[in-house]
Amino acid sequence: MSAPATLLYLDGITVSFDGFRALNALSLIIEPGEMRAVIGPNGAGKTTMMDVITGRARPDFGRALFRDSHDLTRLDEPAIAALGIGRKFQKPTVFETHTVFDNLLLALAGDRRVRASLRGGASASERERLAAILDTVHLAEHRHRRAGALSHGQKQWLEIGMLLAQEPDLLLLDEPVAGMTDAETEETADLLRRINRDHSVLVVEHDIAFVRALGVKVTVLHEGAVLAEGSIDHVSADPRVVEVYLGR
Ligand code: ADP
Ligand code: MG
């Protein structure tokens, strides 16, 4: 099998809500292995774009091709997850009364084996995978703590770890550093760069310092379409971007 030329190709996606175009002929290409940051003012359509990719919103027009061949606009949410696309929402949804380790174990096992996996504990190979994930998300020392006792930032990392346990090829993250301290934000940029070594990532974020720290190509969305694309320095110098977003 030859490698796909593009991982994700949003081709002229339009999504309307009561006649209002949240996405307006949006086109975007993500290369295999790439990490892309998407910025833009409130209401630009960033979350709706994620909704289209994960099958939660149906476009009126356009295609969303994954690995050149699967049109995501024709698939439902479980089928899209099974193709290897995982999403983290803004609000953490960890099981607060379970330990960090058990949260990851549950994510690894999937819904069906929830009870059995907690009773039976983890197998040797599961332990190995979980140890690697705990290292990646910097929670190894906290693995026996209840998730409810973690800081806001640590909960976000745990949730990213739970996403990794499902082994997606492409991770979608919607505002992962919202509410984090500056130190947590910096650490999250490191964490995503580590994750990007073997996963593709699409991250929506408002925090420009964070996006700068990622050091990746940036897409600026405005009124449901791409306004500018390039390095953070390139897009920050674009007068249209300053006008609609950065200058506010
Ligand atoms: P962003 O994430 O960039 O802030 P969104 O994708 O959430 O923007 O929203 C884009 C626009 O679409 C906004 O004007 C929002 O009010 C509208 N919108 C989003 N979802 C819905 C919905 N389910 N029903 C009606 N309007 C919606
Ligand atoms: Mg949003």
Domains of the chain, earliest start first: 1-83+218-226+239-248 (3.40.50.300), 84-215 (3.40.50.300)
The 3-state DSSP class for residue 194 equals: helix
- Assess whether the C-beta atom of 19 lies below 6 angstroms from ligand 1: no
Q: At which residue do the structure tokens 């949730």 appear?
A: 159
| Ranges assigned E (strand) in the chain | 8-17, 20-30, 35-39, 61-66, 70-71, 85-88, 170-174, 200-204, 218-222, 225-230
CA 12 to chain centre: 21
Q: Give 211-229 pLDDT, tens digit per residue.
A: 999 999 999 999 999 999 9
Average pLDDT of span 173-197:
95
**Ion ligand 2 nearby residues (CB, 5 A):** 46-47
Q: Quote the CA–CA distance of 63 and 117 in Å, as a whole number.
A: 39
CB 16 within 8 A of CB 60: yes
Q: At which residue do the structure tokens 């939660």 appear?
A: 56
Q: Quote the CA–CA distance of 66 and 70 in Å, as a whole number.
A: 5
Q: Give 36-59 pLDDT, tens digit per residue.
A: 999 999 999 999 999 999 999 999
Q: Give 105-162 pLDDT, tens digit per residue.
A: 988 866 555 556 566 777 888 889 999 999 999 999 999 999 999 999 999 999 999 9
pLDDT for the residue numbered 123: 81
Q: Give 158-176 pLDDT, tens digit per residue.
A: 999 999 999 999 999 999 9
- Assess whether the C-beta atom of 46 lies below 6 angstroms from ligand 1: yes
Interval between CA 45 and ligand 1 midpoint (Å): 6
CB 90 within 8 A of CB 177: no
Q: Mutation test of ligand 1: which of 17, 28, 221 has the most ligand atoms closer than 8 Å to its C-beta?
A: 17
pLDDT for the residue numbered 118: 64
Burial of 184 (0-12, 13-18, 19+ CB in 10 A): middle
CB 111 within 8 A of CB 94: no
pLDDT for the residue numbered 114: 55
